[in-house]
């Protein structure tokens, strides 16, 4: 018997690898121990770049056909596997297109009338060029010092290049993620910041000290120091210091929630205790809201060893009060600003169940709206570059923050404006685990 052409076996192998990447995006895996990090990267990059994965698999398939990979049975098996992978990726891509309806339902459920109409048209050229962030008419002013800790106390400003002709610009204050141990201000939320800056916003992204050199609450203190600098100097760059929305993803979502919930708390403002650190809204993406895992959602996948060794430098049993204070779920209160909480159903690093508990706790006490949206199939960090998930999220965040801005301007002018909250949603309205 003549052995199959080597190209047939190689095509089968490549097809199985491609199918493995597809499976990582489609399946919802989390408790897989040390494989969680490679699984996350495979799932994240495959799901958010589904079109690109179909493209490279198509190019590979054409190349293997030219090499006579279909001259033996392994090649035909590889072709079937490849087609199945394409179908699964296409279904995943179509499902991501439901994100617009998810956001609409969240707004309809949690807000009164007044939200801007949706823009559900996502230009394919944006999806095709996921890492093209710069927008014409937006300038970036990098590496402005705000504190005493060198490069970890620098911030960037994004603003309209020709100024804002409609008066002082509202401010978006962005906090990067990275597990409190890595990350840079210029690496995250670029699609959102460029988009809002093009619409007349002033966007500020700040570095902060990182663990293990830093111990919590050093991270929060730095972020608050950067916020104070922003409020004091915003007018010099065309911004309105009286209107700031704080946002961030992952560890940045955790810190953004704490900024919003601990406004003017002198414990986290050493040397600037009297400075104003209030914000007018908070939009945390896939944040970590409970260091103590009080609802037991993570079980064997607990973050406690990591936090104990690198971030908190103490154990939750010996210093429970510090761990409570570091958990946004324990800091909720009636005076919290409006929140728009966003999380993906397939997040393998920050569990969506913990976010549901945080949203429920905040809704029970807050006098302001708490909007919550779960994106179908979205992984951790889905908004770092252009994709269907991030496009719909950017549109939704724009609608939310510009509604807050409109209400703020109406309140300042003395004009009547409709309330943001339609009704207080029951906890049962949260998506089921």
Quick: pLDDT tens for 24-78. Answer: 999 998 878 788 999 999 999 999 999 999 999 999 999 999 999 998 999 999 9
Residue 265 · residue 275 · CB < 8 Å? no
Q: Return the structure tokens found at 305.
A: 């060893």
* Beta carbons within 10 angstroms of residue 140's beta carbon: 18
Residue 1 has pLDDT above 80, yes or no: no
Q: What is the mean pLDDT of residues 413-417?
A: 71
The pLDDT assigned to 383 comes to: 97
Q: What is the pLDDT of residues 86-127, one digit of tens each?
A: 999 999 999 999 999 999 999 988 886 556 666 666 778 889
Which entry of 53, 254, 357, 380 is annotated as an active-site residue? 380
Nearest to 403 by CA among 423, 424, 418: 418
Computed from CA positions of residues 62, 64, 65, 66, in that sequence, does the dihedral angle turn out positive or negative? positive
Query: What residues pair up with 60 in beta bridges, in sequence order?
Result: none
Is residue 367 over pLDDT 60?
Answer: yes
pLDDT averaged over the chain? 92
Q: 347 catalytic, yes or no?
A: yes
Catalytic one of 104, 218, 222, 347: 347
* Cα gap 162→202, rounded to integer Å: 12
Q: Angle CA(15)–CA(58)–CA(48) in degrees, nearest 5?
A: 85
In the prediction, which pLDDT does 293 show? 95
**Comparing 62-71, 104-113, 303-312, 374-383, which segment has the lowest mean pLDDT?**
104-113
pLDDT of residue 120: 67
Instruction: Catalogue the E-assigned strands of 217-290.
Output: 239-249, 281-285
* CA nearest to 258, candidates 349, 333, 327: 327
pLDDT tens-place string over residues 215-257: 999 999 999 999 999 999 999 999 999 999 999 999 999 999 9
Active-site residue, 52 included: no
Structure tokens at 27: 């399946």
Structure token pair of residue 295: 């609802």
99-429 carries CATH number 3.40.50.1820: yes
The arithmetic mean of pLDDT across residues 330-347, rounded, is 98
User: Domain spans of the chain?
Assistant: 6-96, 99-429
Q: Is the pLDDT of residue 433 over 70?
A: no
CA–CA dist 273, 172 (Å, integer): 23
Catalytic pick among 8, 15, 85, 250: 250
Give yes or no: 250 in active site. Answer: yes
pTM exceeds 0.75, yes or no: yes
Give the number of other Cβ atoms within 10 Å of residue 383's Cβ. Answer: 27
DSSP, res 208: -
């Amino acid at each position: 018997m003549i052995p199959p052409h080597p190209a047939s076996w190689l095509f089968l192998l490549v097809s199985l690898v491609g199918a493995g990447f597809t499976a990582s995006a489609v399946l919802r895996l989390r408790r897989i121990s040390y494989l969680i990090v490679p699984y996350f990267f495979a799932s994240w990059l495959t799901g958010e770049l589904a079109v690109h994965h179909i493209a490279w698999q198509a190019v590979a398939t054409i190349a293997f056909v030219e090499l006579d990979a279909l001259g033996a049975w392994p090649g035909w098996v590889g072709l079937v596997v490849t087609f199945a992978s394409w179908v699964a990726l296409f279904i995943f891509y179509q499902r991501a297109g439901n994100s617009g309806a998810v956001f609409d339902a969240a707004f309809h459920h949690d807000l009164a009338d007044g939200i801007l109409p949706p823009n559900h048209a996502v230009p394919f050229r944006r999806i095709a060029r996921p890492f093209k962030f710069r927008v014409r008419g937006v300038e970036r002013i990098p590496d402005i010092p705000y504190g005493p800790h060198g490069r970890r106390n620098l911030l960037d400003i994004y603003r309209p290049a020709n100024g804002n002709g409609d008066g002082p610009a509202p401010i978006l204050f962005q906090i990067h993620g990275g597990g409190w141990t890595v990350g840079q201000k210029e690496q995250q939320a670029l699609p959102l910041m460029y988009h809002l800056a093009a619409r007349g916003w002033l966007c500020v992204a700040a570095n902060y000290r990182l663990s293990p050199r830093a111990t919590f609450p050093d991270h929060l203190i730095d972020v608050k120091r950067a916020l104070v600098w922003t409020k004091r100097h915003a007018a010099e760059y065309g911004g309105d210091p009286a209107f700031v929305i704080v946002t961030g993803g992952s560890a940045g979502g955790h810190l953004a929630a704490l900024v919003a919930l601990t406004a003017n708390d002198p414990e986290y403002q050493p040397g600037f205790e009297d400075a104003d650190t209030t914000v007018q809204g908070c939009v945390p993406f896939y944040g970590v809201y409970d260091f103590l895992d009080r609802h037991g959602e993570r079980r064997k996948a607990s973050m406690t060893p990591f936090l104990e060794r690198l971030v908190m430098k103490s154990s939750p049993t010996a210093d429970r009060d510090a761990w409570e204070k570091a958990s946004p779920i324990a800091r909720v209160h009636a005076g919290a600003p409006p929140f728009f909480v966003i999380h993906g159903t397939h997040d393998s690093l920050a569990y969506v169940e913990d976010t549901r508990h945080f949203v429920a706790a905040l809704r029970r006490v807050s006098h302001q709206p708490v909007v919550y949206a779960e994106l179908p199939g979205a992984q951790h960090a889905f908004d770092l570059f252009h994709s269907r998930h991030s496009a719909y999220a950017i549109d939704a965040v724009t609608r939310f923050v510009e509604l807050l801005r409109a209400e703020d301007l109406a309140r300042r002018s003395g004009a009547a404006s409709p309330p943001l909250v339609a009704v207080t949603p029951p906890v049962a309205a949260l998506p089921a685990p």
